[in-house]
């Protein structure tokens, strides 16, 4: 086959990206931008508070796509009343209206792929081609997107379509992340604990060193970065959070979110009774924790 013909007919390396679902429109997963979210299969860690257990295995599952829809919808409900700028809300309404009016693309509900065969990268690209001018960005989430070698090519294809690229990651593969940075416009990085305490959260030795190395790489690169922590029961008292936040500020983190674990669909359901709602601690935490960040947010479930 000629090179020219193959360029249009041959599957790209990105076609191997294994997906668990897609949210075609969200205003909360990439700050200030309207985005689609692609949920990648696979994660090397097993955090007890994970609410995306269906995305952890490397192979896609049908149930995973449905749950991704539920989680995305729940997140929007949590964030919906938080003073979202009117301009962005208007754009979301307009984009939704145009999507609804487009009978060919048939965007139904929150996530495509729910209850059907897992969505393919080719289907995602087809959808994105119809969204130019309506969406600003595509966020790769998971699971752990950097677990898949096809991610770089997928990001490059998203960029070629004119969208910004966002990444949600826990940073388990710093070397791989370093190679991706030139393709990324914004990162939401989970920092789960101080480095030595990571195995209590992830179940994996040395995972803390990897995550904090990823953090340093991102800070050095200058890519737009938001760091988030979901406090793990046993590592969530005020003193611990204070030490964690101080260390994050010391390495250069300026945007930080402390977020409540979702109480539903926990990987370890026995954790549910140990979760201490951040909402009931908000006032106390605000008084108790010095805020060393330019931007600090407490996000309750």
Q: Is 144 in the site for ligand SF4 (CB under 6 A)?
A: yes
Give the per-residue contact string, 95-134, with ligand SF4 (x = CB under 6 A; - = no). ----------------------------------------
Count interface residues toward ligand SF4 (CB under 6 A). 11
Q: Are 113 and 21 in contact (CB under 8 A)?
A: yes
Nearer to ligand SF4, 27 or 52 (CB): 52
Give the per-residue contact string, 37-76, with ligand SF4 (x = CB under 6 A; - = no). ------x-xxx--x-x---x--------------------
Q: Is 208 in the site for ligand SF4 (CB under 6 A)?
A: no
CB of 202 to ligand SF4, least distance (A): 6
Environment class of residue 286 by beta-carbon count within 10 Å: exposed (0-12), middle (13-18) or buried (19+)?
exposed
CB of 20 to ligand SF4, least distance (A): 11
Residue number, nearest CB to ligand SF4: 50
Q: Are 45 and 170 in contact (CB under 8 A)?
A: yes
Residue 199 phi/psi, 5° resolution? -60, -25
Out of 20, 24, 145, 170, the only residue in the binding site for ligand SF4 (CB under 6 A) is 170
Cis preceding linkage at 143, omega within 30: yes
Nearer to ligand SF4, 53 or 292 (CB): 53
CA distances from residue 197 to 46, 105, 206, 208, 215 in whole angstroms, order as listed: 14, 46, 9, 7, 16
Indicate the pairing of strand 255-259 with strand 295-299: parallel
Compute the distance between CA of residue 50 and CA of residue 45 in angstroms, rounded to an integer: 10
Q: Are 169 and 187 in contact (CB under 8 A)?
A: yes
Nearer to ligand SF4, 56 or 165 (CB): 56
CB of 268 to ligand SF4, least distance (A): 11
Applying CB under 6 A, the residues found at the interface with ligand SF4 are 43, 45-47, 50, 52, 56, 142-144, 170
């Amino acid at each position: 086959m000629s090179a020219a013909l193959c360029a249009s007919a041959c599957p790209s390396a990105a076609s191997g990206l294994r997906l668990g679902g897609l949210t075609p429109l969200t205003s909360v997963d990439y700050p200030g931008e309207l985005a689609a979210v692609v949920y990648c299969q696979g994660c090397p860690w097993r955090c007890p508070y994970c609410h995306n257990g269906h995305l952890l295995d490397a192979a896609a599952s049908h149930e995973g796509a449905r749950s991704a829809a539920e989680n995305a919808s729940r997140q929007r409900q949590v964030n919906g009343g938080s003073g979202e700028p009117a301009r962005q809300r208007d754009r979301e309404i307009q984009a939704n209206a145009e999507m609804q009016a487009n009978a060919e693309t048939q965007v139904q509900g929150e996530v495509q792929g729910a209850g059907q065969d897992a969505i393919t990268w080719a289907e995602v690209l087809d959808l994105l081609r119809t969204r130019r001018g309506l969406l600003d960005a595509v966020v790769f989430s998971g699971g752990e997107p950097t677990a898949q070698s096809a991610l770089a090519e997928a990001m490059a294809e998203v960029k070629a379509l004119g969208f910004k690229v966002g990444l949600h990651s826990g940073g388990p593969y710093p070397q791989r992340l370093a190679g991706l940075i030139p393709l990324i416009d914004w990162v939401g990085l989970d920092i789960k604990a101080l480095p030595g305490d990571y195995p209590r959260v992830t179940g994996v030795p040395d995972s803390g060193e990897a995550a904090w190395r990823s953090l340093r790489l991102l800070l050095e690169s200058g890519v737009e970065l938001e760091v988030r922590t979901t406090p793990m029961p046993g590592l969530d008292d005020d003193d611990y959070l204070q030490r964690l936040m101080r260390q994050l500020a010391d390495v250069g983190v300026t945007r930080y979110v402390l977020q409540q674990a979702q109480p539903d669909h926990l990987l370890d359901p026995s954790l549910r009774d140990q979760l201490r709602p951040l909402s009931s601690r908000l006032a106390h935490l605000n008084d108790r924790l010095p805020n060393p960040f330019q931007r600090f947010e407490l996000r309750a479930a």
